[in-house]
Structure 1
Amino acid sequence: MAAGLKRDAVVILRIDGEELHEFVNNPSFEQDMLSIFPEIESPDGSLKDYIIKAFEKLTVDQGMPPATDPWVMSNILEPAFESFGDALQQPVSQETFLAEFKKAVDNVVQLLKEQPAIVAHSQNTFDGGGIKRLLSNKFELEKTLDSTLKGVPMDRNGKISTEYLGSALDSLAPSAGLPPLGAVDPMDNIKNEALKTFNASDAKTVKDDEFKKLLADLLGNIMVQLESSPVSVSINTVVHEPLASSSALLQPTSSP
């Protein structure tokens, strides 16, 4: 998912179980976990499946490294279940889930104390600011739109089909501070809704100036949505190499 995103500075976190211990002992812990339970409910899921999915819902802010990471799964989560025995064969209910999940968290806390997880964490927020800067600079906007149109097919009369609005939007996304299509699901939803508003699927041919105006208006539509409801993306990657310092601030790195 990180591919193609302009990244903010990366913070290296040493997750040693301390924050997770505080989270599980917080008065709001039970209520927080019971609110998660309906989101992970699965008729065919075992108690262990429920607990693992609950761990996947926790964040680094709560002291949990990304549970889907293979290193975390093999070195932290799987060992945390070793002492459970037949307890994981119980029927799944809110009560059993909460009780056994708390035991699992306690085990994870201890395992993280013995073997801390080093996580590279970055946060990216799409609030429409990139689009606003582009739209407010007429020279840069015109240059960007002209460059985008060079990659859009035209018919023999020099007209462009509106069915290419989506691909043109994706082409100029970096200039507008937007992620590429497929990188961030909530952003894909916003783009797709905007395209529906402009009936992009109803293929009709327009002159290049009209196509550029449609693109600019499309960007404006997305900007308004992001200004009212910004989209935040958190990227967490377990770093397997040992680090000399427990935390450090790194400069942004180029996307792979």
Structure 2
Amino acid sequence: MTYRSYVAIGDSFTEGLNDPGHDGHFRGWADRVAERLAALEPGFRYANLAVRGKLLDQIVERQVPAAVELKPDLVSLCAGGNDLLRPGGDPDRMAKTFARAVRDLRATGAEVVLFTGVDPRDTPLMRHVRGRCATFYLHVRSIADLYGCRVVDQWSMQSLRDWRAWSEDRLHMNAEGHRLVAAKVCEVLGVPSEDDWRHTWPPRERVDRRVKLREDRLWLREHLLPWVGRRLRGTSSGDAVDPKRPSLGPYLTMADADSPFGDARTP
């Protein structure tokens, strides 16, 4: 199946943090998937409405109606991760909101792709909410069955359990992690891809304990404490951030880097 238009909605994961792209924007798995879809369909158009830090209610209130208005052939929705990190994140309540959003998106006739999250058992900051995450992502699977959606199951992706797929903040994937997710999405869509999400990492050299402690202290100072500070102040990293692709437009190549959509593709 080919797609003529694709809208990606969500938070930092779909925006593409921390996969550097062109012209100061992040690339990410969604841009990588759009690149593959554009290669298969002349005139393909792409929009990415995702903004870092957004909660499920914010995504459903603002991004879902915008996606419905754009009437694309394909929509990807990944939301709820930021809610699950907060003490009040109720996976059952979240599932009801999520289901309404999926219903509205499917009512347009669009193909909808949903996501489970990565198993957080190896992540110190998220390990304590593992049960809450598992409950919500079981809801996501049930909602996908109910409305006939495709599911990208990151929970089962062993390739993402290696820290070499993650950036220094330990919350967002790096370019390699986004590449693996893009390969998985392409497989779920039945789209050919040169990459394989079943990546096997080579053995790592043992890290000296003193080096590990130094890395942990740096992560605490540079990433964890600022994150906690934003929670206490009630602010978000995405408060002053606009969607990088607010409307459907061509997915252009590096030769068109001086165009409004020139950030779409990087080497």
TM (normalized to structure 1)? Answer: 0.21
More helix by percentage: 1
Computing the radius of gyration from Cα coordinates, the structure with the larger value is 1
Bigger relative contact order, structure 1 or 2 (CA pairs below 8 A, ≥6 apart):
1
